[in-house]
Structure 1
């Protein structure tokens, strides 16, 4: 197993955090669960791997703080502040096992939305050569599908004046 990342759009943090235990990129919403416009990005985390794509799209050097996120769930105001508070949390606490939800900054949404069709293939070729993808065979189509899915999601979010969020689960 691993960590899974679903990118989705929502009108605000409250809507983004609805039923946080349910993955966002599902073919058929869970009964009573929210339905999101989402992309299953499997192992593509916001800070490192998505950050490398953002750097390539902007044609700038990568840095770890390129993709700014804000924690939506679990609520930061309830997070343990000390080691004693951390150790006192129950094993099933979302602060220990998740899931987590991060809000991506508008500039990330806009960078993705602004990727023109004629740059997609070049960006995929550059992106597939980052160290984190060393074990993924080049040209298998996964990165092209993911990049275009993220770009199109960002365009829909931009059009509706929504933000992008990342659901993180085990």
Structure 2
């Protein structure tokens, strides 16, 4: 099936964590690992947009570099894991309470992007979408994927619009990834 990736937007991390907790409990219930299901909206409580492929190594940093007109760098896209929360276990050493059903082992994972990432995406004007997509598509990383100019323009336009909505509402951007 592949790796699923969505970008989320929410007013604060607490809302995302609550949504993920509800979503995770619902999934455990559906798998028969919990006896009682607690009601909740889960991820329906936050706005999201498809970001398939953005998890691939270098893809998203190359887009941000193309927007900013700078070389890609390790610290260009800053983010912090917000779910699962708590100390990350050493996945090479089994620990009490951390088994194959642990989200640290199997996902999903949610990271919060630094506000600079949201603002960079939101800064893309409609008339600049094609130029940003062309710069992004002209990178070694993106040439390997063979995406067409139309596809890249659509992605840039969608992510820029999503970031503009987040910026206008004072929301942060998050990345949800699931195996």
Deviation at 1:46, TM superposition (A): 8.1
Match of 1:108 in 2: 117
The reply to whether residue 63 of structure 1 matches residue 73 of structure 2 is yes
Instruction: Establish whether residue 2 from structure 1 lines up as the match of residue 2 from structure 2.
Output: yes
Q: 2:165 pairs with 153, 156, 161, which one?
A: 156
> How far apart in 2 are the matches of 1:99 and 1:32?
17
What is the aligned counterpart of 1:51 among 26, 43, 61?
A: 61
Which consecutive residues of structure 1, in runs of 5 or more, have no partner in the other structure?
24-30
User: Is 1:142 the counterpart of 2:151 in the alignment?
Assistant: yes
* Contact kept? 2:108, 2:177, Cα under 8 Å: yes
Q: Which moved more, 1:53-62 or 1:125-134?
A: 125-134
Deviation, 1:142, is 2.3
The CA deviation at 1:103 is 0.2
* Deviation (angstroms), 1:162: 0.8
Distance in structure 2 (CA, Å) of the matches to 1:159 and 1:137: 30
SS at match of 1:39: strand
TM-score (norm 2): 0.79
Q: Distance in 1 between matches of 2:145 and 2:58?
A: 16
TM-superposed deviation, 1:33? 3.3
Q: Cα distance 1:18–1:149, how it changes in 2: closer, same or farther (>3 A)? A: farther
How far the C-alpha of 1:100 sits from its partner, in A, is 0.2
Q: Which has more radius of gyration?
A: 2
Moved over 6 A (4+): none
Task: State the superposition RMSD in angstroms.
Answer: 2.5
- The runs of 5 or more residues in structure 2 that have no matched partner are 25-39
1:22-37 alignment, distance < 5 Å = 22=23, 32-35=41-44, 36-37=46-47
Other-structure match for 1:16:
16
Please identify which structure carries the higher helix content. Answer: 2
In structure 2, C-alpha distance between the alignment counterparts of 1:15 and 1:64, rounded to whole Å: 28
Whether the aligned pair in 1 keeps the contact of 2:20 and 2:43 (CA below 8 Å) is no
Report the secondary structure of 1:17's partner residue. helix
- TM-aligned CA distance change 1:34 to 1:88, over 3 Å: closer
Q: Distance in 1 between matches of 2:137 and 2:95?
A: 38
